[in-house]
Amino acid sequence: MQITGIKAALLGGVLISGAAALDTATAAPIVGGTTQVRLDAAPVFGSLDIAVGLLGAAQLLGTPEISPNVNVPLVGFPITGGTANGDLTIAHDGSGLSLTRDTNGPAAGGVVVVSLANFLIETATLSLSGLVSVDNAVVGTVQLFSIANSGIPAFPFALNLTNGAAAALNGALGVTAFESGVRVGVATTLPEVQAAAVPTPATALLFGAAIAPLLAGWRRRAA
């Protein structure tokens, strides 16, 4: 799947609420939905003594098995806003992940907590950014992942660490394992868009007919 194909798949996941059509020339608000992330790197975190926690409205949806006797967290992040036109911005305010590690540093306990929150997916740049904090001190909004094709139909989007995010995690958590391009997880997203009513008799319109089977799968999981 090339870059244009990844964008088409992301755009194809849009559900239109109400009897409406999406005018790609005018931005329409995203009003809900869920992004699911399967944290395939959880075993790596565990080997580094890094505990993964959920922040805010994030929910543990299950622990699917990705290989024999290896289960990983499946986390749901509520979609809280954004816009849709030729591209999507998909916001997930009020939820995130925490990464906690005892670095055995000079401070008592040496425990460091890195918080990654308020994720924002942008199809224009095929990126996922988030608000980063270390021990409750805000670092700022950082581009955390690039989005690529995962090759997994149920979770078609791979989340690969950016160079900046890898360096920041290594520095904060006192490790060297994170590198640019490392896949942390795979994801699927189903944003719901509120579009202006027009005479189109449909309650859920596909934005990109070529990926209808993929959207059907998302709907079944969301049911």
Cite the beta strand spans of the chain per DSSP E.
15-17, 28-38, 50-56, 59-62, 65-67, 70-71, 74-78, 81-84, 88-102, 111-122, 127-134, 137-149, 157-161, 183-194
- In the prediction, which pLDDT does 109 show? 58
pTM of model > 0.85: no
The helix/strand/coil state of 86 is coil
The half-sphere exposure of 167 on its side-chain side, counting CA atoms within 13 A, is: 5
Q: Which helix (H) or strand (E) holds 176?
A: none
Tell the residue number behind the tokens 């027009």, with chain if given. Answer: 198
Element (H, E) at 223: none
* Structural domains counted in the chain: 1
Q: How far is residue 83's CA from residue 77's CA, in Å, rounded to a whole number?
A: 17
Three-class secondary structure of residue 168 per DSSP: helix
What is the rounded CA–CA span in Å between residue 180 and residue 86? 29
Distance CA 116, CA 95 (A): 9
Q: How far apart are CA 180 and CA 161, in angstroms?
A: 5
pLDDT reported for residue 204: 29
Residue 123: alpha-carbon gap to chain centroid:
12
Please tell me the predicted confidence (pLDDT) of residue 67: 94
For 123, the token pair is 């199809």
Q: Which two tokens stand for residue 111?
A: 């425990």
Q: Are 127 and 143 within 8 A, CB to CB?
A: yes
Cβ atoms of 20 and 196 within 8 Å: the answer is: yes
Range of 40's domain? 3-222
What is the pLDDT, as a whole number, of residue 38?
98
- C-alpha distances out from residue 137 to 145, 146, 165, 190, 195, Å: 21, 25, 16, 32, 39
pLDDT (tens digit, 9 = 90+) per residue, 175-196?
Answer: 999 999 999 999 999 999 886 5
pLDDT tens sequence for the chain (223 residues): 445 566 666 666 665 554 445 555 567 899 999 999 999 999 999 999 999 999 999 999 999 999 999 999 999 999 999 998 878 999 999 999 999 998 765 455 578 999 999 999 999 999 999 999 999 899 999 999 999 999 999 999 999 999 999 999 999 998 999 999 999 999 999 999 886 544 333 322 323 332 334 334 434 444 4
Question: What is the per-residue pLDDT for 210?
Answer: 29
Residue 164 sits at φ, ψ, to 5 deg, of -65, -40
Task: Report the C-alpha gap between 108 and 16 in whole angstroms.
Answer: 52
CA-closest candidate to residue 211, choices 9, 53, 5: 9
